[in-house]
Amino acid sequence: MSTTHRASIAVLAKNRYRAEALALSISAHSEHETFPLTRAESSVLARYSRILVELDANLESAMTIIRNTVSQSPDATVIVVGLVDSAESIVKLAEAGASGYVPANASFQELLLITQTALKGEFACPPDVTFALFCRLSELAQNHDEDSLQGSGLTTRERQVMHLLALDLSNKEIANRLYVSECTVKNHVHHLLKKLGVRSRREAVRVPARFCQRS
């Protein structure tokens, strides 16, 4: 007679009753065997490759748990449940190695869906959180691009011209935007191409992405 393998999930919470309640609910509504935990010691967590962590007030402690778990088992799936104050905090959780995030106001069905998605190897969170997360990642990427351009030795005006080149504007259009002469724009373009070590405007606008790939 064949037996069905049930993937195990450790459910870590500060309070025993919370860990047991979550573990029992997940086990009853999924194919997963669950184990409630209240101890976050590495020796305990090392026994599991799938862990659901309920956040307490200390975000840093959760990040430490995530890092320790992933460092011991790079393929581990860590899903975080609880209140996070900003998209930036969710970015930090993802950077630490979290595979999913379930906000405190999510339904139990959403928790199950996010858990299943994360176990498939995808970073999972609700749509509204995903939107906020991507906005934050976009902001971080833009800041990274700006830092890269500053490190290239371009002047403030040359960086402005660089951004307008990325919009595929002509020298005349850039001149109108910056209220300078077309000849001045040509000089700026010449200087920034030389500083960036590229030959064309098209190559110039690719420089920030190239810098990010190296960092």
Q: For the chain, which domains are there?
A: 8-126 (3.40.50.2300), 152-214 (1.10.10.10)
Residues 175/184, Cβ–Cβ less than 8 Å: yes
Residue 23 pLDDT greater than 80, yes or no: yes
Separation of alpha carbons 73 and 62, rounded Å = 16
Separation of alpha carbons 100 and 114, rounded Å = 7
Residues 184/191, Cβ–Cβ less than 8 Å: no
- Whole-model pTM? 0.59
Q: Do the strands 33-37 and 100-103 form a parallel or antiparallel pair, or are they unpaired?
A: unpaired
**What pLDDT does residue 118 have?**
86
What average pLDDT score do residues 159-188 get?
Answer: 84
Residue 111 pLDDT greater than 80, yes or no: yes
- Ranking 1-5, 124-128, 164-168 by mean pLDDT, the lowest is 1-5
Classified as helix, coil or strand, 46 is coil
Q: Write the DSSP string, 145-162.
A: HHHHHHHTT--HHHHHHH
Residue 89 pLDDT greater than 80, yes or no: yes
% of the chain surpassing 90 pLDDT: 17
What average pLDDT score do residues 121-130 get?
Answer: 74
